[in-house]
Amino acid sequence: MLRSSFRFTVAFALVVLTGGVLPRLAAHAQDVAKTAVRTGERPRAQLLTFDDLQKRLNDPTLRLIDCRPRTDYEEGHIPGAVWVDMKALETHASQPGGLEDRKFWEDWIGSLGIDHKTSVFVYDAKRQLDAARVWFFLRRSGVEHAGLINGGYPLWAHQNQPIVTAVPQIDARPFKVEFRKGVAASREDVLAVIKDNSARVVDARSDAEFAGTDRKSNRGGHIPAACHLEWKNLVDGDGRFLDRDALLTAVEKSGIKLGNTAISHCQSGGRASVTAFALELVGVHTRIYYLGWSDWGNADDTPVVEGVESSNQ
């Protein structure tokens, strides 16, 4: 009798869960995702391993982006990958108003056959410098599923992974850009956070640039109270991000705590994007001051500190 009652109780619980609770939980999860899109909340950084990529090469919802020079792409690329003109993207993004040029980004993303259901992963041969920059462009423009491949093309080729020369035929799709809040930061945003200490400013440049001995703008040095976390210490020579424990050690050593939010910058976007991606991997929500020191260091009225001192503590 007890055994029969137990079976009935389990069966009843399963009916309740499958017929009522679980569907409601699934619906709730979908509502949360939709709310995140509306409010501009950012999806977590997505990192795809070579093994996982191998399993998804025939996935029709997957779009791979190759950021290398066109001649390198034509000599061989990962199956299904489409080429993007990095010089054109960088040039446009660095122009006044370029990052806010909605039509440009809609045309570019749409030409790659990307819509809001597409999973987009980016790779390069420069230790993520170009790939992370494209990840920032995609993410800021409202592409919900965008990430990086953990390792560069040279490593893919060295491991004898599949390579093709065929260029995929991609049909353009309409894409409506919705610039996400909390992804990009302006000079005014940085000035505000160093005043109220509401976020950590993270400098992804070299030691010499941070100290002001290597000047790439009219003025050298760093933003007051900035943490120094150089991008190249977060990825290995093959473009693979350090494991979580190593990243956490580097992040904490720089003076950033997991409860912090951050604004990452470099000279002109690429290194800051790598650092921002690494910070997002360990759960530090990070905006990117894309124009970075090319903007800050060429302004006449922004505060600058010269020397090696920082808030890394």
pLDDT tens-digit series, residues 248-257: 999 999 999 9
Per DSSP, the three-state class of 295 is: helix
pLDDT greater at residue 71 or residue 5: 71
Q: Quick one: angle between helices 86-94 and 129-140, nearest 10?
A: 60
What tens digit of pLDDT does each residue of 174-216 get?
Answer: 999 999 989 999 999 999 999 999 999 999 999 999 999 999 9
Q: Is the pLDDT score of 92 beyond 90?
A: yes
Among 9-13, 149-153, 226-230, 303-307, the minimum mean pLDDT is found in: 9-13
pLDDT at position 105 is: 98
The type of residue at 90 is E
pLDDT greater at residue 14 or residue 72: 72
pLDDT at position 240 is: 98
Of the pLDDT bands very low, low, confident and very high (cuts 50, 70, 90), residue 307 is confident
Average pLDDT over residues 47-62: 96
Q: Beta strands 200-203 and 119-123: pairing type?
A: unpaired
Per DSSP, the residues of 42-78 read: PPPPEEE-HHHHHHHTT-TTEEEEE-S-HHHHHH-B-
pLDDT at position 5 is: 44
pLDDT at position 147 is: 98
Q: Is the pLDDT score of 235 beyond 70?
A: yes
Which CATH code, of 3.10.110.10, 3.40.50.300, 3.40.50.450, 3.40.250.10, is assigned to 187-296? 3.40.250.10
The dihedrals phi and psi of 76, each to the nearest 5 degrees, come to: 160, 140
What tens digit of pLDDT does each residue of 122-156 get?
Answer: 999 999 999 999 999 999 999 999 999 999 999 99
pLDDT at position 37 is: 35
Query: Counting Cβ atoms within 10 Å, is residue 159 exposed (0-12), middle (13-18) or buried (19+)?
Result: exposed
Of the pLDDT bands very low, low, confident and very high (cuts 50, 70, 90), residue 43 is low
What tens digit of pLDDT does each residue of 76-88 get?
Answer: 999 999 999 999 9
**Residue closest to 107 by CA, chosen among 124, 88, 122, 80:** 88
pLDDT at position 230 is: 98
Predicted structure pTM score: 0.85
**What residue spans in the chain does CATH classification 3.40.250.10 cover?**
46-158, 187-296
**Residue closest to 186 by CA, chosen among 91, 87, 90, 96:** 96
The type of residue at 83 is W
Of the pLDDT bands very low, low, confident and very high (cuts 50, 70, 90), residue 28 is very low
Average pLDDT over residues 238-262: 95
C-alpha 246 chain-centroid distance: 19
pLDDT greater at residue 37 or residue 251: 251
Per DSSP, the residues of 249-274 read: HHHHHTT--TT--EEEE-SSSHHHHH
DSSP H or E segment with residue 277: helix 270-281
Of the pLDDT bands very low, low, confident and very high (cuts 50, 70, 90), residue 259 is confident
Q: Is the pLDDT score of 117 beyond 50?
A: yes
Among 1-15, 66-80, 98-112, the minimum mean pLDDT is found in: 1-15
* CATH of region 46-158: 3.40.250.10
Q: Is the pLDDT score of 44 beyond 50?
A: yes
